[in-house]
Chains A and B, each alone.
Chain A
Amino acid sequence: MRCEEVRDHLASCVDCRAERNELDALWGALGDLPLAETPSSRMRERFSAMLAAERASTNLRPASRGDRRDMWTPRRMVREPLVQAALAASLLLVGVLVGRTSLGTTNGSSQSASAVADITEVRQELRDMRQMLTLSLLQQQSATERLRGVSWTSQIDQPGNEVVSALLDTLLHDPNVNVRLAAIDALRRVSDRSDVRAGTRRVVGDTSAPLLQVAAIDFLVETRDPDGPALLRALVDDRRTDEAVRGRAQWGLERLAS
């Protein structure tokens, strides 16, 4: 039926005209409905935390413009109480070391071996302190703080068992998916450890977090996990698997087969 025919029919049919008027009125009223709500400021904070986690866990280029307040800059780090405490302790240790080394030079070369030992000791102290700071941040109630804890692990040369276990615990149990995503990226450095691989394999089957599943699939592919093909096949075959996860699992299967 063409427009003209519809118009002619509406002109002659009272019922259709009434229906048309009612629909027009409802359509107009729909457009006049006020906004239901506005999102809270928490939403922007959470988004900023998510971006911070992404920046911390990837090598994406840093912000070149716009608002940089949400980035974890050195100046901002210095304002953190935990960082302040660590810096103060580090400075104290360095001061003691410099003092002892200076005294050593006045007492002859026999003191140099002692100075080297002191430097080693101070380095160990600093490493322990970084680990302690990281573990402390990972226990914080705020997801943003935990994200910082995860990013701090990148500053530890060789993360010890305690830090790796804390990261694994975060990966498996943290209530915030962004923190978990950052944890899986941080664990890439120690992907040769069997406990890390086992933890990641568990995440592959965690259907409550499709994003994390995608990240875990990437991890399996990168590390060419021997159990990878079977796990990915199970995901592809499972009808309940999220569509994007299934697609990534299929991609992973192809990569592992090549």
Chain B
Amino acid sequence: MTDELLMRAVQGGDLDALGDLFERYHRPVFQFLCRTIGDPAAAEDLAQEVFVRILRYRHTFDPTARFETWLFRIARNARADHFRKLPPLPVAEEDALAVADADPGPGQLLEQRVDVRQLQRALQQLPEDARDLLVLARFHGLPYQELGQLLGIEVGAVKVRVHRAMKQLRTMFFRLEDVSCVVKK
């Protein structure tokens, strides 16, 4: 059954359908939040909040729209509300970004140049919109059209922003590399 049909069932009062959506999406939502805020504990709390909001605001879902886009919009709003109440997080430390699986994998194809942690740190330091765009496009595979709906912009503008975000990431990545070289010297 599609996500949208499940969500229609939730709107009709079928709570089991929400359980199915939870099984499908609690990990992607958690991953999105974890990647964009760098704090697994806060990401888990917020992911929980996302499902509470789905239930509470179920009547606002448009069944003709894509569920995943609506879901990530709720996740972004929940995160924004969370940080509105709290002081901004300090830049994530390496420990907080420690990865569960240290296996380098195909990332080594970059002639050993791309340090995974450095890339994670660079990603963390991007402005929120740019970070969201890259995480949703690259990790969650959201099509540009859906990203456009999520951000309220045209597909062409999404492409421009993704390109801009990649350039920002590259600048940040090499800046961190320079800092790292200075520290090593």
Residues of A within 8 A of B (CB): 22-23, 25-40, 42-44, 46-47, 50-51, 54-55, 58, 60-61, 63-67, 177-178, 208, 210-211, 214-215, 242-244
Is B44 interfacial (CB 8 A cutoff)? Answer: yes
- Residue pairs across A and B with Cβ atoms less than 8 A apart, 5 shown, are A22-B170, A34-B102, A35-B31, A37-B100, A54-B55
How many Å lie between the Cα of A43 and that of B53 in the bound state? 15
A39-B27, A43-B48 are contacts. A210–B81 as well, Cβ < 8 Å? yes
Please indicate the chain A residues that have their CB under 8 angstroms from the CB of B5 in the complex: none
The main secondary structure of chain B at its interface with chain A is: helix
How many Å lie between the Cα of A26 and that of B52 in the bound state? 36
- Distance in angstroms from A43 CB to nearest chain B CB is 5
How many Å lie between the Cα of A30 and that of B107 in the bound state? 8
Contact B51 A26 (CB under 8 A): no
Contact B119 A33 (CB under 8 A): yes
**Chain B stretch 74-114: residues in CB contact (< 8 A) with chain A:** 77, 81, 85, 97, 99-103, 105-107, 109-110, 113-114
**Residue among B35, B109, B138 with the highest chain A CB neighbour number at 10 A:** B138
Please indicate the chain B residues that have their CB under 8 angstroms from the CB of A39 in the complex: 26-27, 30, 43-44, 47
A34-B99, A34-B103 are contacts. A25–B113 as well, Cβ < 8 Å? yes
How many Å lie between the Cα of A67 and that of B16 in the bound state? 9
Please indicate the chain B residues that have their CB under 8 angstroms from the CB of A215 in the complex: 56
Residues of B within 8 A of A (CB): 13-16, 18-20, 22, 26-27, 30-31, 34-35, 40, 43-44, 47-48, 51-53, 55-57, 60, 77, 81, 85, 97, 99-103, 105-107, 109-110, 113-114, 116, 119-120, 123, 134, 138-139, 163, 166-167, 169-170, 173
Contact B52 A43 (CB under 8 A): no
- Distance in angstroms from A47 CB to nearest chain B CB is 5
How many Å lie between the Cα of A30 and that of B118 in the bound state? 11
Contact B97 A36 (CB under 8 A): yes
How many Å lie between the Cα of A31 and that of B107 in the bound state? 8
Contact of A43 among B30, B60, B107 (CB under 8 A): B30
Please indicate the chain B residues that have their CB under 8 angstroms from the CB of A58 in the complex: 13
Contact B101 A43 (CB under 8 A): no
**Residue among B14, B55, B109, B113 with the highest chain A CB neighbour number at 10 A:** B55
- Distance in angstroms from A50 CB to nearest chain B CB is 6
Please indicate the chain A residues that have their CB under 8 angstroms from the CB of B57 in the complex: 244
Contact A47 B26 (CB under 8 A): yes
Please indicate the chain A residues that have their CB under 8 angstroms from the CB of B119 in the complex: 26, 29-30, 33
Please indicate the chain B residues that have their CB under 8 angstroms from the CB of A243 in the complex: 77
Contact A67 B105 (CB under 8 A): no
Contact of B40 among A37, A46, A50 (CB under 8 A): A37
How many Å lie between the Cα of A45 and that of B81 in the bound state? 24
- Distance in angstroms from A71 CB to nearest chain B CB is 10
Contact A63 B113 (CB under 8 A): no
- List 7 A-B pairs, minimum CB-CB distance, nearest first: A32-B107, A34-B101, A29-B114, A60-B13, A37-B40, A39-B30, A36-B34
